[in-house]
Amino acid sequence: MPLLQWKPSYSVGIPAVDFEHREMIGMINGLYGQLENEPDASAVAAVLGEIHAQISAHFALEERLMREAGYGEYAEHKGSHEELLEQIRDLMDSHADDPQAGGALLQRSLSDWFGLHFSTFDTRLHRAL
């Protein structure tokens, strides 16, 4: 049973954003499985680096769409993006420092903040667009 599952309700109606959300769910599920089975620290770190890059690009695209749509809560949304990117980097470093404890933390945190990203901000953006 994968950690996250794509639901039609997650759709924001923009193919590019939906596509990236699905891709990220896939990556996070992959990482989750990796952590469950054989947590090879360097492989996990590599996937984390990939997720970090993907999410950076995803946020960059979302921010552009928000600006184009004249989304009123842009500054707030942008701030939360930057905050989330800080958190991912913290997760990456804590995993690098202690792969055992870091791995457990990852499993909890990743799904948490990803769910948060979906439920609060992206749906609000969806309504705004």
Partner 1 sequence: MLLAGFSLLLFLAPWLPPAAKPPVARVDLENCNGCERCVDDCPYGAVMMQPRSDSSSYAQEAVVDPSLCVSCGICVGACPTATPFRQATALSPGIDLPDLSTAMLRAEVEAAGAILSGSDRVMIFTCTGSAPMRELADASTALVAVRCMAHLPPSFLDYILSRELADGVFLAGCQGSDCEYRLGAEWTRQRIGRQRDPHLRQRIDRRRIALAWGGKPVHALAAFRRQISSLPGAAMELMPHGGNLRRLSRLPLQAIFYGLFAVAASVFAAWPVFELLQPGQAVISLTFSHAGQRLKECRRLDQAELDKLPPNMRKPMDCQRERRPVELVFRLDGEILYQASLPPSGVWEDGESTVYARFPVNSGDHQLFIGMNDSGRETGFDYQHQAVISLAPEQNVVVEFDHERQTFVVR
Whose Cβ is closer to partner 1: residue 1's or residue 11's? Answer: 11
CB of 58 to partner 1, least distance (A): 7
Nearest 5°: the CA angle 85, 116, 26 is 75
* Max CA distance (Å), the chain: 46
CB of 121 to partner 1, least distance (A): 17
Rounded Cα distance between 18 and 59, Å, is 13
Place of tokens 């769409």: 65
Confirm or reject binding of residue 56 to partner 1 (CB under 8 A). Answer: yes
Residues making contact with partner 1 (CB under 8 A): 15-16, 18-20, 43, 45-50, 52-53, 56-61, 63-64, 82, 85-86, 89-90, 92-93
